Structure 1
Amino acid sequence: MPLQLLLAPEATALPIWFVTASTWTDIAAGLPASARAFAAAQEFTGAAGKGLLLPGPDGAVCAAVFGVEDAGARHVDPFLAGALYALLPGGAWRFANAPRDPQLAVLAMALAGYAFNRYKASAKVKDVALVAPDGVDAAEIGRIVDGVFLARDLINTPANDLTPADMERAVLNLAARFGARVSVVTGDDLLVKNFPMIHAVGRASATAPRLIDMVWGETGAPKVTLVGKGVSFDTGGLDIKPSSAMLLMKKDMGGAAAALAAAQMIMAANLPVRLRVIIPAVENAISANAFRPGDVLPSRKGLTVEIGNTDAEGRLILADALALADDDAPGLLFDYATLTGAARVATGPDLPPFYTRDETLAADIARIGEAVNDPVWRLPLWGAYERLLDSKIADVNHVSSGPFAGSITAALFLGRFVSQAGAWAHFDIYGWTPSARPGRPEGGEAQAARLTYALVRARHGQG
């Protein structure tokens, strides 16, 4: 974690003042005259998101001021303090006064320090240290940041270096850290073990498809199962995407990355659950044996599925994986997938829709997502749209017969493969930050992972 959190006061730590347009005058009055004069010369007014390093009488930096939203602002960004990481030079710092939510402010600063530098040398990581404010759990910050950085690294890695086999290695590495058990079904063994749709989607790739299954925790503990879509790259298959639509398809395994991020947080916190993570890992490629529009596939559940579009491959592999997860009747079953463009049209890239039939779970997800600034928005599993999945020759078509409600019909399709879980929720995530914002650099993002960890901790953990 680039931001170092100091657990004890540091005598040389410089103050960071959080100000608003209405409190700036009073706070400025307590600063050295040199600092006030410099701020006036820079026309600093305390506007939200604006920061300034202030000089002392000797010209050296003596403090930083940072503007946050006034009470009554139309929108308050709990991660706004993340912009401080770029502002501050190296050295030790402390909060001179408290932001609205110190835990989220520190988390945002830590998340802002992420950089993906696997292929290109980046600027030297700044040696910024922050005295952990009272009430901020530094260990918790570290667990969350490590999980998010894992997901960001996986999503940002291009498909030539993150094949289904590489995803398997990532899971094995994570399992080794925490003593989890992993089983993998690969290639034609998927047919033997009854995962026919995972096999069909991935068989055209030079790298064999696989079903990765990780289990951690005590057998008798409450069962929590996370399923993540692991499409390492999506050409669209025979319904091939235009080139412009392929540019970000390395992120089509963002659901798997989110599941692994949440799993790492849960295991690092040693929460008393029996955790299971299931990742169907494939590349949706094109070759002579690629599955076709109009094919009818068997599924693990026993339903026959007519293929309406090979570019809707994610729901096929998730269906087999969800059927496996459901067989175990977990108390809580979540799946994460970069599934539909319709979700982005409906709620944009920052606010993934989620689906569940459990009203209590829906309320908990919404409340906790807002509390930890990992927002999602509930959309309905609208039963009247089930008819849009009707097929004349199979039990179900996997895509809608029309242009409407694409995210909803995808969720309804997945819902047909879940019947025994105590509660199920589906997250249609984007997995990417299109332009940098405080605490969220441009690139891969572990959407819904932090809220999952917080929800599992609230239900089964230590607080």
Structure 2
Amino acid sequence: MESFSSLVQANRGQPARLLLPVDKAGFDDWLKAQPARAKAAGAAQRFAGKPGEIAILPGDGPEDWSVAIGVEETDALGPWDLAKAAETLPEGSYRLEGNPGGALLGWLLGQHRFERYKRPDTATGPRILVTGEAARIDDAVRLAEAVALVRDLVNTPTEDMGPAQLQQAAEQAGAEFGAQVRVTTGDELETGFPLVHAVGRAAARDRAPRLIELEWGNPAHPRIAIIGKGVCFDTGGLDIKPASGMRLMKKDMGGAAHALALARLVMGGRLPVRLHLLIPAVENSISSNAVRPGDVLKSRKGVTVEVSNTDAEGRLILADALTRAGEDSPELIIDFATLTGAARVALGPDLPATFANDDTLAADLLEAGAAENDPLWRMPLWAGYDEMLRSDIADIDNAPEGGMAGSVTAALFLQRFIEKDTPWAHLDTFAWRPAAKPGRPKGGEALGLRAVWSALRKRYLPAA
């Protein structure tokens, strides 16, 4: 596949076939204005202006043809309106007149493929979109790159995507943007981040646990922390998952993928912030030294945790990372995690369960999600359920019995490691698409990334 930057060009009068967005409401008027040959071609292809429909319309000569595309609304193109066209049209250049809105994203991602382990499809070359809105191109390319990064990291099998590979991804970002990266491992990890060490200690030596930190930006700017759960594979530990539950556990580092991608957007967009990225990276493996059900672990914060279930490990490693982030007094903390099956039972695969201890932050995130067609759904940090976290022998239990309100109690567990005055949002995201849609293939997916990026831009670059 061509680089994203080569797939969208500013209109300089270069030859390109015309793309004609048509919505169902305006279809009749559009059809009346078409010549007879276009009407006949459209009818033969059963084109009615419905979203996702495409019709090739003949022109005066054999090569003089245009493309009608059914969209939701012609006056406000959405991110996926052009995705099917980008996937299916013949290679070549196409011209879109007027404001492309967010549709550049779908055009780019419609041509992205995860082909690391497959023979590349070279049957069709690139489809290039020509637009008069040149100012939108750079932002669209950066956003497409971020989404593609999440997809590629999540899709990569654990054999090639362990803690060391997450570290390499962070170091690559650090080198590219001039950020400082530090990695805590070994004895220093056991002492400083004991929950991260405990969860990952059963893994093989070359897949040892670590806490990855990246810092970027002017220290005088507002400090924000972005945290991602980096469980590169989750067997469930000694509370082992069944085969059906383990099949997709390569994606349990999806939170880390989102955090890395968001950090790259922050740095690439030159947001005026002091960025602190934290990724606790582990494999939750099974060995003679694995954490046992009933063990009590002491966290970085000093809070003791009874491990009722070793398969509730993500909240443990996040607890130490949240504590570390809070030590530098950020004005905002956001974490991403593929944390609970309960969130998927409640909201399905497309809606990240979003928890926030600040109503303004929650409203900003939900508003951005709606505007970007990257929806979020707020869930309650219901204080009445906090008592479910009680332990008979420790300060807190990692997995309350009964399973009720599982995503809520997980978020309440994390909240124990947040300073009360620090605005914080937690996105329990699936990071996976179970069925393909135009521009969105089955597999790893960025869910909530675009919403959070939009909210951060609005907060720190109000004129953007």
Q: What range describes the TM-score normalised by the shorter chain of this pair?
A: over 0.9
1:231-310 paired onto structure 2 within 5 Å: 231-310=231-310
Higher deviation after alignment, 15-24 or 373-382: 15-24
Q: 1:54 to 1:136 in 2, by over 3 A?
A: farther
CA distance in 2, matches of 1:86, 1:27: 25
RMSD in angstroms over aligned alpha carbons?
Answer: 1.8
| Corresponding residue of 1:51 | 54
1:27-426 paired onto structure 2 within 5 Å: 27-60=30-63, 62-69=65-72, 78-96=79-97, 102-124=100-122, 126-134=125-133, 137-192=136-191, 194-206=192-204, 207-419=207-419, 422-426=422-426
Amino acid at match of 1:196: P
CA distance in 1, matches of 2:64, 2:193: 62
TM-score for the superposition, normalised by structure 2: 0.94
CA distance in 1, matches of 2:85, 2:340: 34
Aligned-pair identity (%) = 48
1:212 Cα deviation (Å)? 0.3
Amino acid at match of 1:13: A
Higher deviation after alignment, 430-439 or 218-227: 430-439
Retained in 1: the 8 A contact 2:21–2:69?
yes
CA distance in 1, matches of 2:413, 2:422: 18
Higher deviation after alignment, 386-395 or 142-151: 142-151
2:52 counterpart SS class: coil
2:102 counterpart SS class: helix
**Residues 237-280 of structure 1: CA distance to partner in whole angstroms, max 9, x if unpaired?**
10111111111111000000000111101101111110010000
Higher deviation after alignment, 29-38 or 446-455: 29-38
CA distance in 1, matches of 2:40, 2:60: 11
1:400 counterpart SS class: coil
CA distance in 1, matches of 2:135, 2:345: 37
Q: 1:17 to 1:121 in 2, by over 3 A?
A: same
CA distance in 1, matches of 2:73, 2:424: 39
Retained in 2: the 8 A contact 1:17–1:97?
no
**Residues 61-90 of structure 1: CA distance to partner in whole angstroms, max 9, x if unpaired?**
61111112369xxxx965233222113222
| Corresponding residue of 1:24 | 27
| Corresponding residue of 2:16 | 13
CA distance in 2, matches of 1:442, 1:103: 25
1:434-453 paired onto structure 2 within 5 Å: 434-453=434-453
CA distance in 2, matches of 1:431, 1:178: 25
Give the number of equivalent residue pairs: 455
1:66 counterpart SS class: strand
Retained in 2: the 8 A contact 1:147–1:264?
yes
Retained in 1: the 8 A contact 2:78–2:101?
no
Amino acid at match of 2:252: D
CA distance in 1, matches of 2:187, 2:64: 64
Structure 1 unaligned segments of length 5 or more: list them: none
CA distance in 2, matches of 1:36, 1:435: 34
1:116 counterpart SS class: coil
1:150 Cα deviation (Å)? 1.5
TM-score for the superposition, normalised by structure 1: 0.94
1:377 Cα deviation (Å)? 0.6
Q: 1:395 to 1:330 in 2, by over 3 A?
A: same
Retained in 1: the 8 A contact 2:87–2:439?
no
1:191 Cα deviation (Å)? 1.7
Q: Which runs of 4+ in 1 moved over 4 A?
A: none
1:35 Cα deviation (Å)? 2.7
Structure 2 unaligned segments of length 5 or more: list them: none
1:420 Cα deviation (Å)? 5.5
CA distance in 2, matches of 1:332, 1:349: 26
2:159 counterpart SS class: coil
Q: 1:272 to 1:70 in 2, by over 3 A?
A: closer
1:32 Cα deviation (Å)? 4.2
CA distance in 1, matches of 2:298, 2:304: 5
**Residues 268-320 of structure 1: CA distance to partner in whole angstroms, max 9, x if unpaired?**
11111100100000000000000011111000111110011111110000001
Retained in 2: the 8 A contact 1:327–1:420?
no
1:357 Cα deviation (Å)? 1.5
1:166 counterpart SS class: helix
**Residues 146-192 of structure 1: CA distance to partner in whole angstroms, max 9, x if unpaired?**
11112211111100001101111111011100000011011332123
Amino acid at match of 1:56: G
2:315 counterpart SS class: helix
1:29 Cα deviation (Å)? 3.7
1:379 Cα deviation (Å)? 0.4
CA distance in 2, matches of 1:255, 1:159: 15
1:262 counterpart SS class: helix
1:47 Cα deviation (Å)? 2.1
CA distance in 2, matches of 1:421, 1:321: 17
Higher deviation after alignment, 273-282 or 57-66: 57-66
1:135 Cα deviation (Å)? 7.4
Retained in 1: the 8 A contact 2:368–2:451?
yes
CA distance in 1, matches of 2:64, 2:31: 15
Q: 1:428 to 1:163 in 2, by over 3 A?
A: same
2:19 counterpart SS class: strand
1:51 Cα deviation (Å)? 1.0
